[in-house]
Chains A and B, each alone.
Chain A
Amino acid sequence: MFQRDKLVGDRSHSQVGFSRITFQKAVFTPEPLAPATPLMTRLTANPNHIFGNYSSMTGVYDEMCDSAGAIRPSWQPFADAIEALGHEEIARRWQQAQEEVRENGITYNAYEGVNGNTRPWELDAFPLVISPEEWSELAIGLRQRAELLDRVLRDLFGPQTLLQRGLLPADWLFSHPGFHREFHKQGIRDGRFLHLYAVDLARAPDGRWWVAGDRTDAPLGVGYALENRVVMSRMLPKVIHDCKVERLAPFFISLRKTLSVLASHRENPRIVILSHGPTGPNYFEDAYLARYLGYTLVEGGDLAVRDDRVFMKTLAGLLPVDVIFRRLSDEYCDPLELRGNPAYGVPGLLQAARLGNVAIANSLGSSIIESPSLIPFLPRIAREWLGEGLLLPSAATWWCGQQQARSDVHSRLGKISVRAAFRVARRESPAPESLWAKSTDELDRLIEARPRDLIGQEQVSRSCGPVWRNGVCDSQRVALRVFLVATKDSYHVMPGGLVCMARASAPLDLSVLGGEVSKDAWVLSNSPVRPVTLLSAGKQSVALRRTGAELPSRVADNLFWLGRHIERAQNACRLLRPVVSRLTSESGSENLPDLAVLVHCLAQHGLVEPGFALESMRELLPTISQVLPTTMLDASQPDSLRSMFTAAHRNAGLVRDRLSLDSWRVLHRVKREFETTAATPRFGLAELLDLLNDLIGDLATFDGLIGESMTRTPAWRFLELGRRLERSQHTLAIVQSLFAVSNENDARALEAVLEVADSIMTYRGRYLAGVNLAPVLDLLLTDETNPRSLVFQLEAIADHVEHLPRDDSQPLRGADQRIALSMLHSARMLDLDSLQEHRASAKSTPLERALTRISTQLPKLSNLIGHRYLIHADLPRQMSEARP
């Protein structure tokens, strides 16, 4: 790799690409010690102070400053540390943090199902700081609410005493479109419905936190909160330490413990994360959590129910699943009983859960209580059941399904907001946006027509806090989502959470994730905070394991294609670079013979129009020079360089949980490189050459990361198989182009071929004489020490195929093994010595015939592997129903 960089000469990619990733943590300069006396206790209009120009909104609570404008004591250490760092340093670090967010490709799909709508995650430079005293009081109220809601679910899916005692109107439950009778009396193993719970909070002008909403289905944001903390702790490591910020890791340890307790009857339980898949709003988060918690990420299609047990479809067959950590809305979980879209869920899952064969967190049905129309009934339920009121107030809410409430809403129209009463599958109907635009009269009529579907809600006048925008400290509204995980007898509150900020309150009232920018939340501790990591969770000895998480067939398929796409892109770059460098050089038509080979090869790859002959080269070159740069950036052309990288990036996105963060970053950066390059006004050959150099360096980085950081599991083998197959085809194509253009003895053509095959250094080191055909062919085809040669690829392929999971009871080799060995054998037997004599006599030499045979065997092998391991079993379909 380093050799290659020297060859390129003009730009060192190891510096541009590699160091930025690997040494990122070390780039920060040490933070100056906070001065003994606070820099400032009162905000003054001192432009040199970061918070100097900060002015809070009037009439609302300011998180950082009290009503007199002084920094709150809990924020003081943070404010001092920030002022000590100064404008420039903060700006620099924030820039780097932004870069990291972009490189990690943190996204949020705001609109489910619409492709390409992923929006980058915005993280603010400043956290929300919360004092330990305030937090511990808040946590008591949060735990009370979680326990209450869990009990409400137990009752509604059980004896329904709430309805019989009139604590909750029966109308509410019976008109709830998400109340699936199928979920009733499931017989839940641990008696818990709510394992992971999120509360949306808003702070009122009086300084109290109010509940603005509950998330009980499969709460989003817990992974984003974690990722925000990871980025912040790289940006302000010392500040976080000095401010004694509570760690988030213990929360995730609790989460893991809760999930493993669910499978307590099993020795070595298999826990999976069931995701909505890449079209879901939070696929990034699902993949992130899977990697962080060490669980296999699956989609509905990866699971199957057989004989009332849940299995994961893997390369090695069906493996039993004990616990499902559900990120998919319960509405979609079982298309057999709930008649949903078969694309997402697992048919038969509900019955498996009823029989206790699988535990699901959160339990199916938990979504029904995240509807805001439940809010008005909770205080009375709390008083009746717990003998005490709710410790946390919630926004005043009226469910229009009740007459008195309806007239209360009527008299308040214009002052309160009207929203959908029920939330099903993370959606509200009618959609909130459609209600905003309505006049009071229209709302009145709507309530008259569909009273049960609507609520009126008073919105808390949210607090404000500082947001760092282009070096200026702005004041924006605050929304805080906090998370709780069930423990043996209560709930563990995450000390921190996801903060979102927006200029206006409305988008935050809708969803915390509706904010413009997110923040980390720092809960301070009174005592020193000890570092915790998930890996050192227990003291008991751990049985050694060599395999990683199991490989679902779908993931193997994606890895295989990632390998192919990456290699294809890399080959295209290596082929294009000599072409472009020759086209830009002064020598002009002297390079015709070698260009002819290269252009022929380009045409084989579909990178230029096919049908070039040597004679027409001279006329065609200007056209190629003109067209090549723009077509390579054209996203609409399937064979353009950009499309190849897009395909690789997409495949990588599908297996994010399998790739190291650094590998993903490389691909993500390349994607952004294309985006910025495409926007360049004048993009010619010189710019294309620069781009190619960058890309080759980036891909070499990717190769290095895969080679050095991926364990040699089947996942790695499938990625490698894809790459080796692609590279074999590429090498064959080069040699075939050389013969096709019939100038195989032209030294310039041979040199060009060596350059494409990245073997020029090796050749020069080995042979002092000029470039000759036989040694070139040896290097490209039969030299098993050259990692670019055909034999090298075929040896690797045969080895990978040999190690794929297969049925040991079959004594004979499989068709895939036979074909891999046959290719390897023919390649080893290639006769280069007699080439010249054959060449003189026959039209097609034995060598060419052997190469042709291998090039037809390669796609056959690819298909065999696909059929055997990768191609998905059909999706389940609904049977026709006879109607009466």
Chain B
Amino acid sequence: MIKYKVSHTTTYEYDAPVAVCQNVVYLTPRTTPYQSCSYHRLTVRPVPASPHRRTDYFGNTASLFSLSTGHRKLQITAHSTVELLERPLPPDGSAAAWEKVREALPQNRTEAGLAEYQFCFPSPRVPMLAELADYGRQSFTPNRPIVEALRDLTHRIKSDFTYDPAATTVNTPIAEAFEKKRGVCQDLAHVMLGCLRPLGLAARYVSGYLRTHQAEDQRRLVGADASHAWVSVYCGEHGWIDADPTNDLLPSTEHITVAWGRDFGDVCPVAGMFVGGGSHRLTVAVDVTPAP
């Protein structure tokens, strides 16, 4: 078991006073078979009048709050302590063929089955595109064991794409990111979802944090990290298996899961609307440190 302390601070600074702002944030880590959250605290400055928490359709915790006192700076900080267990992965070749998983998905109409099946469909930021389906099919060859195929697709995306924050923005369509073969983890995750869903597989977008590796002689840089994104694929009897195309690995104890949904739009860490304010600057600082 590994324990992490996470802090995630989002700061908005405005040129002119903001009269009103309303926010929806997804900053509370989920509880999963391999993750538990022993401490979580959300701090907002200035202090909002009526904060609410609700569980959304996907089981995530959303926090809603609003401010109607004038302010020039808004700071949202989430502190969490999370314990991770190692995730067992089936040895390559032992998992079921991906077609078997695909065929079973629509059959299960229980609540749990529907919760899996819903991730087989296109979503606002991940439309069905033939070119992505073709790209995915090169890894998902007939009768290939699903985990092996998944590993291969993750690897291909990592090698075919260049990590380039300048190439895309938060609203770049996946067709464009795929065409350029450039982007950040959000783009790569969306592209991967766009490869998997047309094959009939259930794949979801995961928002969370990554512990950054440092060279042994260097101290960790506080605040150097940002929030991270990867995907999770339903693999039949093995359940949901995560895949991180940005780092070409299947996450285990270095990825902290905050929320999942169909795409970024379902689980955007901090979203909101405001009145007034002129132009504004946004800074984000994430710190993930192993705790004793």
Contacts and interface: CB of A to CB of B under 8 A. Distances in A.
Contacts of A879: 12, 21, 23, 270-274, 280, 282
Contact of A305 (B66, B109, B111, B276): B66
Interface in A155-183: 160, 163-166, 170-171, 174-175, 177, 181-182
Interface in B164-191: 169-170, 184-186
A160 B266 CA distance: 20
Given A164-B109, A351-B52, A874-B275, A882 B117 contact: no
A749 interface: no
Given A308-B52, A879-B280, A175 B122 contact: yes
A248 B44 CA distance: 54
Nearest to A339: B265
A160 B226 CA distance: 37
25 contacts: A170-B118, A171-B121, A174-B121, A181-B56, A181-B57, A305-B66, A308-B52, A308-B66, A336-B272, A336-B273, A342-B273, A873-B275, A874-B276, A877-B274, A879-B280, A880-B170, A880-B282, A882-B227, A882-B269, A882-B270, A883-B169, A883-B170, A884-B184, A884-B207, A884-B226
A66 interface: no
Q: Is the interface of B mostly helix, strand, loop or mixed?
A: mixed
A170 B109 contact: yes
Interface in A175-216: 175, 177, 181-182, 184
A563 interface: no
A342 B271 CA distance: 14
Contacts of B39: none
Contact of A184 (B22, B57, B229, B284): B57
B111 A164 contact: yes
Contacts of A342: 273
B54 A307 contact: no
A875 B275 contact: yes
Interface residues of A, number: 42
B50 interface: yes
Given A336-B24, A351-B52, A354-B54, A882 B10 contact: yes
B106 interface: yes
Ranked 10 nearest A-B pairs via Cβ: A181-B57, A884-B229, A883-B170, A879-B272, A876-B273, A882-B284, A174-B121, A347-B273, A884-B227, A880-B282
Given A164-B109, A166-B109, A170-B106, A304 B20 contact: yes
A882 B50 contact: no
Most buried by B among A174, A354, A879: A879
Q: Is the interface of A mostly helix, strand, loop or mixed?
A: loop
A449 B127 CA distance: 13
A880 B57 CA distance: 24
Given A170-B109, A174-B120, A306-B68, A181 B24 contact: no
Given A163-B114, A170-B118, A174-B121, A884 B228 contact: yes
Contacts of B54: 354
Contacts of B78: none
Contacts of B184: 883-884
A160 B265 CA distance: 23
B218 interface: no
Contacts of B106: 170-171
B273 A335 contact: yes
Nearest to A351: B64
A348 interface: yes
A282 B128 CA distance: 34
A48 B271 CA distance: 71
A878 B124 CA distance: 18
A60 to B, nearest CB: 41
Interface string B229-272: 10000000000000000000000000000000000111011111
A881 interface: yes
A310 to B, nearest CB: 12
A337 interface: yes
A330 to B, nearest CB: 16
Contacts of B266: 181
B207 A876 contact: no
A884 B268 CA distance: 9
Interface in B114-133: 114, 117-118, 120-122, 124, 128, 130
Nearest to A306: B68
Nearest to B58: A181
A651 to B, nearest CB: 25
A429 to B, nearest CB: 12
Contacts of A305: 22, 66
Interface in B80-137: 106, 109-111, 114, 117-118, 120-122, 124, 128, 130
A422 to B, nearest CB: 12
A882 B272 CA distance: 11
Interface in A314-359: 335-337, 339, 342, 347-348, 351, 354-355
Contacts of A877: 273-275, 277
Interface string A476-496: 000000000000000000000
B19 interface: yes
A881 B270 contact: yes
B215 interface: no
B49 interface: yes
Nearest to A338: B265
A769 to B, nearest CB: 63
A160 to B, nearest CB: 7
A354 B266 CA distance: 18
Contacts of B64: 351
Nearest to A160: B114
Interface in B125-168: 128, 130
A552 B64 CA distance: 28
Contacts of B52: 308, 351, 355
A850 B89 CA distance: 91
Nearest to A185: B57
B244 to A, nearest CB: 11
